[in-house]
Amino acid sequence: MPLFNILVLGGDHIGPEVVAEAVKVIRAAEAHPAVSKKNINFNLDFDLLGGQSIDVHGIPLTPQVVEKAKKSHAVLFGAVGGPKWGMTGALRPETSVLDLRKALNCWANIRPCKIPSPGVAKCSPVKESVVKGTDFIVLRENCGGVYFGEKMETADYSHDVWGYHRWEIERIARMAAYLARKHGGATGPSKITSIDKANVLAVCRLWRDAVARVHDDEFPEIPLFNQLSDSLALLMVKNPRSLNGIVLCDNIFGDLFSDEAAAIVGSLGFSPSACLAGIPGGEEKTTGMYEPSHGSAPDLAPNKANPIATIQSAAMMLRYSCDLDFLADAIDDAISIALDDKAARGLEVRTGDIGGAASTTEMGDAVVSAL
């Protein structure tokens, strides 16, 4: 009887709203005959993060939440921050997320770039003919590189060290291989496009070399390409479909390109993410962290936010932390139907950010009913 312990951290502003819809979808999935037959259960525990935690406990991330997170299979998280708590200073809600990712050692950040249903391709600023069929995953190394390098800060000179160890590159390259196989499915592994600026940066020459060696030794059958970071910035807009597969990035490149990818799909409301500390099914026990890529949108009126990215993140949780691909696929299908299936079921439910007028709860209900 598989029981999955999930820590749910709504966070601030729209965070709890969108997370509530994802919880609704998880509960509906659990009740589905195909699932209850297998006796799969989700044990959900709720706690505070970010500004809400500052208000109650005086700090944005309590040791109790860290402990609970470590004991869980997965953390489902909404968003934190808002004008009430400020953007600078020691007690920023934002630090809670980076600190929690660090505490869980989530070194792999996975951000899919895929139009969730053909009908919403028109929400993209990019032409439909260019964007349709786009289906790649930005895989970002999340615990190394210039984010965590030695820093020097003086009045007249500052620097950050952008460094990588070979083993850090190797483990993320192995994750890319895992994802390429999963993404390609029965048709064989998808290709991996590894991003660097090896014509200028020493750290990128090591990156390219380490990726190539682990590829040749361990997964030579997966097609591997190198792409310079500047030309990727161009290609992602010009021909995003040509990237279909896995786009493997270091920390800072991944930060940029996952946002560029979010622009391509048309709304941050369609950009889920997963943060993992190990390859799913591997030996170590790890906790995955799942969250929409958008922020807490303090200015948005209540019940107006698009919960799709959070529901997609919950589907990723079922896929990567619970090994329930069939359920994740079912949720992804339900999302597509809810957004798009006017003809067959009268459903074309969309929130304001994607040109509709539905509320957060209506959007969540539509996914549940499609499920």
Window 212 to 231, contacts with ligand IPM (CB under 6 A):
230
Query: Binder to its own copies among 158, 186, 283, 344 (CB under 8 A)?
Result: 158
Report the run of H or E that residue 246 belongs to, with start and end: strand 245-249
| Residue 202 within binding range of ligand IPM, rule CB under 6 A | no
Query: Binder to ligand IPM among 47, 209, 255, 260 (CB under 6 A)?
Result: 255
Of the candidates 135, 160, 209, 255, the residue annotated as catalytic is 255
Geometric angle at alpha carbon 219, from 319 and 186, rounded to 5°:
50
Geometric angle at alpha carbon 272, from 180 and 23, rounded to 5°:
120
Window 137 to 156, contacts with its own copies (CB under 8 A):
146-147, 149, 151-153, 155-156
Q: How far is the CB of 192 from ligand IPM (least distance, A)?
A: 21
Residue 152 binds which entry of its own copies, ligand IPM, none, with Cβ cut-offs from 5 to 8 Å by kind?
Answer: its own copies
Window 73 to 132, contacts with its own copies (CB under 8 A):
94, 125-127, 130
Q: How far is the CB of 17 from its own copies (least distance, A)?
A: 22
- What does the block give as tokens for 9? 């951290």
User: Please, which residue, 233 or 279, has the CB nearer to its own copies?
Assistant: 233
Strand order in the sheet with 41-47: 41-47, 3-11, 74-79, 288-292, 272-276, 108-114, 135-141, 245-249, 192-196, 224-228
Residue 149 binds which entry of ligand IPM, its own copies, none, with Cβ cut-offs from 5 to 8 Å by kind?
Answer: its own copies
| Residue 252 within binding range of its own copies, rule CB under 8 A | yes
Of the candidates 99, 230, 285, 329, the residue annotated as catalytic is 230
How crowded is residue 64: how many other Cβ atoms within 10 Å of its Cβ? 12
Q: What is the DSSP string of 176-233?
A: HHHHHHHHHGGG-PPPEEEEE-TTT-HHHHHHHHHHHHHHHHH-TTS-EEEEEHHHHH
Q: Which residues are catalytic?
A: 147, 197, 230, 255, 259
